[in-house]
Amino acid sequence: MSLPPLHSFKVFECVARLGNISAAADELHVTSGAVSQQLKALQASLGVELLVKQGRQLVLTDSGRVLQKHVASAIREIGGAVSVLRNATVRPDEVKPLTLSIPGAYGLSWLATRLFTFMDENRHIKLNVISEVSYGLVDWRRADVAVTYGTPPGAGFWWRLLHGIRMTPVCSPQLLRGDRAIRQLSDLAHHRLLHEDDGAQWRRWLTEARCHEREYSSVHFDDFGMVLQGAIDGFGVALSDELVSARDLDDGRLVQPFTLSVPALHNYYCVCNDSSRGRPEVDEFIEWLGSST
């Protein structure tokens, strides 16, 4: 059986990761129409539906999840092979410095582990990491690239959406037991709703769950790490993204009492000065980060 064009798999992986055709078109430097055509052609060639519309987002079907897992793995394998070849021939005078700014927050643990992989695979780039609590405080005299959480920056900066975050409730397993165990939506009224914003994200989720008319006790923290730690310790229920909380979910410190997820009010972005785009080390890091998230 002949394979569909390999480029169509890259387009599919990009849309699957970002959940949005326009965002994928921006990343791939093509039009939204071109992305749509590639997706239609791939689905027609394979004879299965890979993505379906859910609100403003595109979400994977069961078949799409299977294909995305293998395509993403193949892209990482190719990238790793290229890095091995490049590292085998790199000379000390060819090593380029690159300074990355990231928020000093618990929510970036998913990124920290990936950065060590980047360092191992790209010996021709010397990565330095600094931290700032918000995008507005990034020192662009030092930083070449920044990973930020919030909204896209203004003029003078290039940005890429890293992945479309969808928020879902997470809590300690102990909240699924006892007299006040969370078994259905109404049980949330017995527990604190933890958040780091003004409660807008919880209001969006409760509205989608059709239980926003109830009264809920909530606790505000100005640090997302404290929100998740409170959830881990059993003091309430938080909203988080599967990627951000992957380690806690895998290790059983957190569980997801409900499957409903809603788009986040903010997202993670990779940002750099317009003038920095085109530098090989900057472009390589951006491409690597986009394919690893």
Delimit the domains of the chain by residue range: 6-68, 92-164+267-292, 166-263
Query: Could you tell me which CATH class the domain 92-164+267-292 is placed in?
Result: alpha beta
Closest to 50 in 3D by CA, of 38, 41, 62: 62
| Joined tokens for residue 138 | 């990034």
Residues 6-68, CATH architecture: Orthogonal Bundle (1.10)
Per-residue model confidence as pLDDT tens digits over 62-100 = 998 899 888 888 887 777 677 666 666 666 666 788 999
Query: Could you tell me which CATH class the domain 166-263 is placed in?
Result: alpha beta
Most confident of 87-96, 176-185, 265-274: 176-185
CA–CA separation, 194 and 176 (whole Å): 17
What is the pLDDT at residue 5? Answer: 83
CA–CA separation, 63 and 180 (whole Å): 38
Alpha helical stretches, state H, 188-292: 200-208, 224-232, 246-250, 280-292
Confirm whether pTM is higher than 0.75: no
Element (H, E) at 25: helix 21-28
CA-to-CA separations, 39 to 28, 30, 59, 65, 210, in angstroms, rounded: 14, 13, 13, 15, 34
The strand pair at 96-102 and 157-163 is best described as unpaired
Confidence of residue 234 (pLDDT cuts 50, 70, 90): very high
HSE, CB side, 13 Å, CA atoms: give it for residue 269.
Answer: 19
What is the pLDDT at residue 90? Answer: 60
DSSP helix, strand, coil percent of the chain (3-state; round to 5): 45, 20, 35
Name the average pLDDT for the chain: 84
92-164+267-292 with 166-263: one CATH topology? yes
